[in-house]
Amino acid sequence: MKPLKTPLVALFCLIFLLMPLPPSFAQLPPAPVTSAVDFDFRQFGPHSPDFVSPWTTFGYDIGDFHTNYANFERVVRDYAAKSDRLRVFERGRTSEHRTLYTLVVSAPKNIARLDAIKANAAKLADPRQLSDAAAESLTQDLPIIVWLAYSIHGNESAGFEAMIQVLYDLVASQNPMIRDLLDQVVVVINPCQNPDGHERFVTWYNAVGIGRPEPFAIEHREPWSIYGRLNHYLFDLNRDLLVASQVESQSAMQAFLEWHPQVCADHHGQTVNYFFPPAALPINPNLDRGQSDKWLDIFGRGNAAAFDRYGWQYYVRDVFDLFYPGYWDSWSSLNGATGMTYETDGGGWKGLNWRRDDETILTLRDGIARHVTASFATLQTAAANRVARLRDYRAFFVQSIAEGKQGPLQCVVFPPEGDPTRRKRLVQTLLYHGVEVQTATAAFTLKAVHDYAGRVQPTRDFPPGTLIVSLDQPRGRLAKSLLEPDTKQDRAFIERQLEKVRRNANRGANAPKEETEFYDITAWSLPLALDVPAYWSGSRPAVSATPVASVVVSPPQSPAPAKTAYVFAYDSDAAAKLALQLLQEGYRLATAVRPLRAGERTYPRGSFVLRVERNPETLHTRLAALAAACGVEVQAVNSAYTDTGITGVGSEGIYTLRPPRVAVIAQEGVSQTSYGALWFMLANDIGMEFTPITVDTFLDLRLGEFNVLILPDGSPGAYRRAFGKEGLERLKLWCQEGGTLICLGGAAAFASHKETDLTSARLIDADDEAGKDGQTASAGEKTPDKKTSDTGSTDEPTGAAARYGEPSRKKSSPKDEKKSAEVGSGAEQAPTDTALSAAPLPLPGAIFRAVVNREHFLTFSHEQAEMPVLLSQRFFRPSKTGTNVLTIENPIPLAGFIWKGNTERFVRNTAPVIEEQLGAGHVILFADDPHYRAIWQAQRRIFLNGLIFGPTITFSTGLR
Ligand SMILES: [Zn+2]
C-alpha cells in the first residue's frame, strides 16, 4: 500500500473508519482457525533416549520448515548406526547424484532373519515352488510386508516430513503398540521417491516462503523451472511404471519385486480433503475385483476409524481410480499387493499455511498429521489381518497362473522383425516388471493368431529366436495389462461419462459444464506404443525355449577400412542415433534420398553414406567406435560403381547433410513433461546436444545461430503471446532461410492458428483452442495429482489464475456441443446423435492406425504402410499446401476410449503429422507429443528425421 499523500485523503479515511459498519460486514466469517493444532506427534512415546528426535536435530518443530534431503540422510545414518530395528539399503543414485534408499524397519528378531523372510515371501509369490500345505505353514510364520512410499511428487511435501516422523516412531518408540506392530510387520519404506524434485521444491520454498496463507501469495506459485512434482528429467514418476524409463522407477520396482510386499501405501498430497481407498472406478479389469475390493475396504475402514477419532474430513471411491498400470497403486495391485494412493491436504503447493474457501487455515502440520495417522493405521490393519492377507497374496499368483491358461489371450510373441532397438527396449521393460520372457529355440506354429492391427490368421509360423511371453506365470496379470491390445473400463464408469456428456449437451453454450472423469490415457499397449511387431493368441506355443535374463546384445562387427565410402542402412532408432552423433562430431554424412545400391547390397531410402575422400583420417576409427556403441552394422564400400540401378554412393541422389544446431523453447507456457521427455530422449537415448532457450532469446539471435527450433507441447495462447506479431514475422523469415521448426501438440495448434498461419492445416474446432489460452493445454490448471489425460499437456500448472484456488483435477469439459452426445468405448457402443455435434470431443488418449506417406523425408526408415499413433485432443484438417505425412483413414481405434459417433466422424482424414515447406525451411507439426512419457516411440524416427534431414532436404531436392 502506498502512504497517504494528503491530509484530505487522511480525513476521508478517518470518516470512513468512524462510520458504523454496514450489516454485511458483520456476516464475514469468524477469525481464521486451524484445524489440527492439537494433534500429538508424541502419541507413540515414550521414545528411547538413544535416538534424538529428528526435530531436535534439525532445530525446528515438525511442520514449521521443510526438511532438505541431506538432513534426512543425517538422521538415517545416525539411526542406522544405533538401531537393531532398522536396516538401510542403498539402491542407486538419481540423475542429480542423490542416493536412493530402501529403509527396512521391524522387530530385531525379524531383522535378524530378513533374508529368510524375503525368500519365503518370494515363495508365496510363485506358487510353482510351493505346495498348499507348505504355503499355509509359511503364512502362519511370516510377518506381513508393508511398503510405505512418500512424496513421489517432490513438491507434495507433507509426505516427506511425515515419513521422518514415522521412521522416528518405528525406530525409537518404546510404546507396546509399536513393539507389537513390529513383531508382525516388516515395514519397507521408500522414503523419498523423487529426491531431485523434492530438493528443488524445498530449496525454493524455504527461500521464498514466509507462511502467508493467501492463495495468491508467491509461495503458492512454483516457478516453471522449479516444479518439484517432476524428477530431474521432468518425468512424472507416478506415470512412469509402465515403461520404467527413469532410474527412480527402475530401482524402486526392483526393490519392490525383491521384498514382495502384500500392502503398498503411496503417500501423496494435494487434495482438498484427505483421500484414501476404496478407489474410484475404473478398476483395471486384470485385477480380481472380489479380492481387491475386499482388501481396499478393510484398509479403508481401518483408516476411517483412525481419522474419525479426530473428526477429520476425508473421502473415498472418488477421483483416484485403479486403471492405468503405470501408477504405484495399480502396479502394486497387479503385483498382488493391496495398492493404495493416500492424498493429504496440507503442505505441498499450499505451503506452510493455506486459507481454505471457508477462511479456515490449513497447515503443513495438518497434512503431516494425517499422513502419519494413515501410515500407522495401515500398519495396524496389516498386522491385524496378517495371516488372511498373506493367504490372499498367494492366491493372487495362483489365480494369475490359472487365468493365463484360459481365455482369449494366453501368450504374446515377438518374432525377430522390425527395429531391434525397440525390441530390446520392450524386453528390458518387461524384465523391469518381473515378467518372464523366453526365447524360442526352434520354429513353432500358433493357431488363431492376432496381430496388433486387428487382423487374425488361422495359423502362423514363427522362427527360432521369437520371444514369448506366456501368461501362465505369476505375473501373468501384470503382463497382460502391459501387452493386451486394449483394456476396457468398467461399464458403470462409461455410463456415468455418457450421462455427463448428455447433460452437458442440454446446457447452454456458455453454461458451466460437468467434467468427465477420465484421469489418464485409456490406451498404452506396449507393442503399439513401441511399434514392435507382435502377435497374440488364445493358445500357448509348445516349443523349447530359454528364459531371457537380460538384454545384452553383442556389438556388430567393425567394418573393414573402406576405399570409397562407408554405408549404413537406415532401418532403426540406433541408425538415427549414429547419424546424429556423426553429424554432431563434424563428419560429412550424406544420405540417399532414393534406394541405394552399394557394395552389391541394396539400402532403403534415407540410408547413410560417409565418403572417405571427404572426411578426415579419423573417420574409420571413430566410426567403428560409434557404430559399436550404437549397435549399428556399417559396410565398407570400395567402388562407386553400381552393379544395378541409378543410385550409388557417387550419385546425384546423395545429399550431404547439414549438421543440426538445435534449440528448444523452455519457459512458462511450455509443458514441462513434454520438454522433459524430449530432453531425456535427446540426452539419454540419442546423445544429441541442444540448447534450451526462451522465445525472447531466439528472437534476439542472428538468424543462422540455430537451424532447428523445437516448440514442445504447451499453451497455444502462451506461444502466440511470446512470439507476438513481429516475432512471428521473424520466425517465418528464419524458416524461409532454411530453418526447421518442429511444433508438438499445443505448439502445433499455435502454428496452425489462422493468425499464425505457418501452415494451411487447421485444427478442427480451431478457434476454440488455438485462439484462446488453451484450457486443454497447460495454461490455467493446477496439476492433477494422480492422473490426467496429459497427452495434450494438461499436466502442469504453467498458468497462474487457477492456481489461486484448490486444484482442478480434470481437464475442461467438452465445449460447444449443440446436440446430445452419446459416447462409447471402442466398438461396443451403438452410434447415436453425437454424430450431429459440431466439435470433436477430446479423447483420453486412444490409439489409431495412421497411413504412412512414403514419399517424404520424414518417413525415411519407415517402409510399412501404416503405423500406430496416439491421439488425444487435436485433430488437424490436412494441409492443402504441404505434405500430410501421416493420415488417419480408418477412424476405428486400435485401442482406447472414443466418443462413439463423434470421434470417428472427426478423426477420419485428419493428419497427425504434417510438413509445410516454407521457403528453404520447414514447419513440422505433430498433433500429439511424439515422446509422450517415453512410452510412445512409434513416431520417434519421424521426429528425428526432422533433425537429420530438415536442415538439408527441401522440396526441390525431390524424392524417389
Ligand atoms: Zn502426488
Residue with cell 497462474: 800
Phi, psi for residue 87 in degrees, rounded to 5: -125, 135
C-alpha distances in angstroms, 226 versus 426, 719, 793, 871, 931?
Answer: 32, 20, 17, 29, 22
Residue 513 pLDDT:
87
Q: What is the pLDDT of residues 406-431, one digit of tens each?
A: 999 999 999 999 999 999 999 999 99
- d(Cα 418, Cα 420) in Å, to the nearest integer? 6
Q: Please name the residues in contact with 26: beta carbons below 8 A apart, sequence gap of 6 or more.
A: none
Asked if residue 592 has pLDDT above 80, the reply is yes
- Whether residue 486 is predicted with pLDDT greater than 70 in this model: the reply is yes
Q: If you measure from the C-alpha of residue 344 to the centroid of ligand 1, how many angstroms do you get, rounded to a whole number?
A: 9
Q: How remote is the CA of residue 384 from the centroid of ligand 1, in Å? A: 28
Q: CA nearest 219: which of 198, 200, 204? A: 204
Ligand 1 centroid to Cα of residue 351, in Å, is 15
CA 150 – ligand 1 centroid, Å? 9
Ligand 1 centroid to residue 672 C-alpha, Å: 16
Question: Between 520 and 276, whose confidence is greater?
Answer: 276
Query: What is the identity of the amino acid at 414?
Result: F
Distance of CA 838 to the CA centre of its chain: 32
Ligand 1 centroid distance, CA of 136 (Å): 37
Output the CA 327–ligand 1 centroid distance in Å.
Answer: 10
pLDDT of residue 837: 64
Least confident of 7-21, 152-166, 315-329: 7-21
Residue 34 or 363, more confident: 363
User: For position 838, what pLDDT does the model report?
Assistant: 72
| Residue 736 DSSP code | H
Tell me what the pLDDT averaged over the chain comes to: 89
Ligand 1 midpoint to CA 155 (Å): 8
pLDDT band at 776 (very low <50, low <70, confident <90, very high): very low
pLDDT in tens, 359-390: 999 999 999 999 999 999 999 999 999 999 99
CA of 231 to the centre of ligand 1 (A): 12
Q: Say how far residue 485 (Cα) sits from the centre of its chain.
A: 19
In a domain, 823, yes or no: no
Residue 517 φ then ψ, to 5°: -105, 10
Secondary structure of 395-409 in HEC code, one letter for each residue: HHHHHHHHHCCCCCC
Percent of the chain with pLDDT over 90: 82
**Distance (Å, rounded) from C-alpha 502 to C-alpha 496?**
10
d(CA 860, CA 415): 23
Q: Give yes or no for residue 902 having a pLDDT over 70.
A: yes
Q: What is the grid cell recorded at 906?
A: 472427426
CATH number for 395 = 3.40.630.10
Phi, psi (5° rounding) for residue 257? -70, -25
Buried/exposed 679-688: b ≥16 CB within 10 Å, e otherwise: bbbbeebbeb
Cα 748 to ligand 1 centroid, rounded to whole Å: 29
Number of domains present in the structure of the chain: 4
Q: Is 158 within the bounds of a domain?
A: yes
CA of 785 to the centre of ligand 1 (A): 5
pLDDT digits (tens, 9 = 90+) for 831-844: 344 544 678 888 99
- For 915, what's the count of Cα atoms within 13 Å in the CB-facing half-sphere? 26
Q: What's the rounded Cα separation, in Å, for the pair 374 and 340? A: 11
Residue bearing cell 522414503: 191
Same domain as 410, residue 395 = no
Confidence band, pLDDT 50/70/90 cuts, at residue 215: very high
> How many Å lie between the centroid of ligand 1 and the Cα of residue 892?
34
Give 274's DSSP letter.
E
Check: CB of residue 159 under 8 Å from CB of residue 267: yes
What the block records as the C-alpha cell of 412 is: 504374446
Q: What's the gap in Å between 214 CA and the centre of ligand 1?
A: 22
Among positive and negative, which fits the CA dihedral 634, 638, 643, 645?
positive
Give mean pLDDT, residues 702-715. Answer: 96
Tell me the CA–centroid distance for residue 237 and ligand 1, in Å. 9
Counts of helices then strands in the chain (DSSP H, E): 28, 35
Q: Phi, psi (5° rounding) for residue 608?
A: -110, 145
Name the residue range of residue 805's domain.
662-817+875-885+911-957
Helix runs in 546-592, H state only? 573-584
Cα(939) to centroid(ligand 1), Å: 29
Three-state DSSP at 90 gives strand
Beta bridge partners of 86: 105
- Residue 380 and residue 475 in one domain: no
- pLDDT number for residue 278: 96
Same domain, 685 and 796: yes
Residue 275 CA, ligand 1 centroid: distance in Å = 12
Q: Which of 347, 382, 401 is the last residue of a domain?
A: 401
CATH number at residue 788: 3.40.50
Q: Give the Å distance between the CA of 786 and the centre of ligand 1.
A: 6
Whole-number Å distance, alpha carbon 152 to ligand 1 midpoint, is 6
Give the pLDDT score at 791.
Answer: 32
Q: Quote the ligand 1 centre to 193 CA distance (angstroms).
A: 11
Question: In this predicted model, what pLDDT tens digit does every residue of 576-591 receive, in sequence order?
Answer: 999 999 999 999 999 9
Q: CA–CA separation, 239 vs 242, rounded Å?
A: 7
What is the Å distance from ligand 1's center to 932 Cα? Answer: 19
Query: Residue 679 C-alpha to ligand 1 middle, in angstroms?
Result: 22
Q: Is residue 896 part of a domain?
A: no
Q: CA-CA distance, 623 to 559, in Å (whole number)?
A: 9
User: Secondary structure of the chain: what % helix, strand, coil (to 5)?
Assistant: 35, 15, 45
- Interval between CA 393 and ligand 1 midpoint (Å): 26
Measured between alpha carbons, how far is residue 741 from residues 217, 254, 438, 917, 920 in Å? 37, 40, 43, 10, 12
Confidence (pTM): 0.90
In a shared domain, residues 386 and 418:
no
Q: Are 650 and 682 within one domain?
A: no
Examine the fold and report which residue of 641, 656, 671 is the final residue of a domain before the chain moves on.
656
Distance 224 CA to ligand 1 centre (A): 18
In a domain, 314, yes or no: yes
pLDDT digits (tens, 9 = 90+) for 390-404: 999 999 999 999 999
| Cα 298 to middle of ligand 1, angstroms | 23
Q: How far is the CA of 790 from the centre of ligand 1 (A)?
A: 15
Task: Find the 267 Cα to ligand 1 centroid distance in Å.
Answer: 7
User: Is 201 a residue whose pLDDT tops 70?
Assistant: yes
User: 76 C-alpha vs ligand 1 centroid, how far in Å?
Assistant: 24
Same domain flag for 481 and 603:
no
Could you please report the per-residue DSSP string of 248-260? HHHHHHHHHHHH-
754 with 622, same domain: the answer is no
Q: Can you give the pLDDT at residue 503?
A: 86
Sheet holding 338-343, edge to edge: 86-93, 99-105, 185-190, 144-150, 263-268, 338-343, 274-275, 314-315
Distance CA 155, CA 323 (A): 24
Q: How confident is the model at residue 795 (pLDDT cuts 50, 70, 90)?
A: very low
Three-class DSSP category at 640: coil
How far is the C-alpha of 823 from the C-alpha of 895, rounded, in Å?
A: 15
* Residue 869 lies inside a defined structural domain of this protein: no
Q: Do 780 and 920 fall within a single domain?
A: yes
Ligand 1 geometric centre to CA of 78 (Å): 29
Ligand 1 center to 439 CA (angstroms): 39
**pLDDT, position 775:** 35
For range 872-889, the mean pLDDT: 96
> How far is ligand 1, taken at its centre, from the CA of residue 528, in Å?
28
Residues 660 and 951: their CA atoms lie apart, in Å, by: 7
The position carrying cell 458451466 is 512
Residue 540 Cα, ligand 1 centroid: separation in angstroms? 40
Measure 804 CA to ligand 1 centroid, in angstroms.
19
- Cell match 563434424: residue? 586
| pLDDT (tens digit per residue) in 606-653 | 999 999 999 999 999 999 999 999 999 999 999 999 888 889 999 888
Q: What nine digits make up the cell of 264?
A: 503398498
pLDDT value of position 916: 96
> What Å distances lie between residue 348 and 79, 200, 432, 579, 662, CA to CA?
27, 12, 30, 44, 35
Where do runs of H (alpha helix) occur along 132-279?
Answer: 132-141, 157-172, 176-184, 195-208, 247-259
- Does 834 fall in a domain? no
**607, 681: one domain:** no
Percent of the chain having pLDDT more than 70?
A: 88
Going from the Cα of 175 to the center of ligand 1, the distance in angstroms, rounded, reads 32
> In terms of domains, do 673 and 621 share one?
no
In a domain, 351, yes or no: yes
Residues 454 and 362 in one domain: no
pLDDT at 15 over 60: no
The pLDDT score that the predictor gives to residue 16 is: 40
Question: pLDDT confidence of 949, banded at 50, 70, 90?
Answer: very high
Model confidence over 292-340: pLDDT tens digits?
999 999 999 999 999 999 999 999 999 999 999 999 999 999 999 999 9
- CA of residue 55 to ligand 1 center, whole Å: 25
Residue 190, number of CB atoms within 10 A of its CB = 26
**Which of 401, 434, 458 marks a domain boundary?**
401
Q: Is the pLDDT of residue 931 over 90?
A: yes
**Cα(782)–Cα(795) distance, rounded to whole angstroms?**
8
**385 and 439 share one domain:** no
User: What pLDDT, on a 0 to 100 scale, did the predictor assign at position 35?
Assistant: 52
CA of 767 to the centre of ligand 1 (A): 33
Query: What separation in Å is there between the alpha carbon of 632 and the centre of ligand 1?
Result: 41
930 burial via Cβ count (<10 Å: 0-12, 13-18, 19+): buried
Question: How far is the centre of ligand 1, averaged over its atoms, from the C-alpha of 441 (Å)?
Answer: 45
Calculate the CA dihedral of residues 629, 633, 638, 639 and round it to 10 degrees.
-130
Number of C-beta neighbours around residue 180 at 10 A: 13
All three cell numbers of 538: 488364445
Specify if 285 maps to a domain. Answer: yes
Task: Kindly give, in sequence order, each residue whose CB lies less than 8 Å from that of residue 1, ignoring residues fewer than 6 positions away.
Answer: none
Question: Is the pLDDT at 817 greater than 50, yes or no?
Answer: no
Q: How far is the CA of 245 from the centre of ligand 1 (A)?
A: 18
